[in-house]
Amino acid sequence: MSQSRSKRYPAEFKRRALDLVESSDLSVAEVARQLDLSPKTLYNWRTAERTSPISGKSSSSQKDLEQENKRLRKELARLKEEQTILKKACAYFAKDIP
């Protein structure tokens, strides 16, 4: 009995197939049928894409997310400091009220 080897697809093909699934109203099975793939293959690509990006597109998105996360952490620290100052001011002025 002969063993068949899995067909290898270029990263660009995988990326475009996943983009088609994401951007269209078609199900994974319908896109797989159009591209002559097994739906399981597309699901595997999608899972792999989520754990380690296929293309640079997602890594740049990762970098953007990291920058936004850093910015939001700074803003959170600033707002916490403001809140602390306001609590102290409120307590200070509250004790002066007869």
Per-residue pLDDT of the chain (98 residues; tens, 9 = 90+): 455 567 788 888 988 998 888 888 888 899 899 999 999 999 999 888 888 766 555 566 788 888 999 999 999 999 999 999 999 999 999 887 77
The two tokens of residue 27 are: 């199900």
Q: What are phi and psi of 34, to 5 degrees?
A: -65, -35
| pLDDT for the residue 96 | 75
Structure-token pair, residue 71: 């910015």
> DSSP of the chain, one letter per residue?
-PPPPPPP--HHHHHHHHHHHHHSS--HHHHHHHTT--HHHHHHHHHHHHHS-SSHHHHHHHHHHHHHHHHHHHHHHHHHHHHHHHHHHHHHHHHT--
Q: What is residue 82's predicted lDDT score, i.e. its pLDDT?
A: 97
Domain residue ranges in the chain: 9-54
Q: Which residues contact 78 (CB under 8 A, 6 or more apart)?
A: none
pTM exceeding 0.75: no
What's the confidence (pLDDT) of residue 21?
A: 87
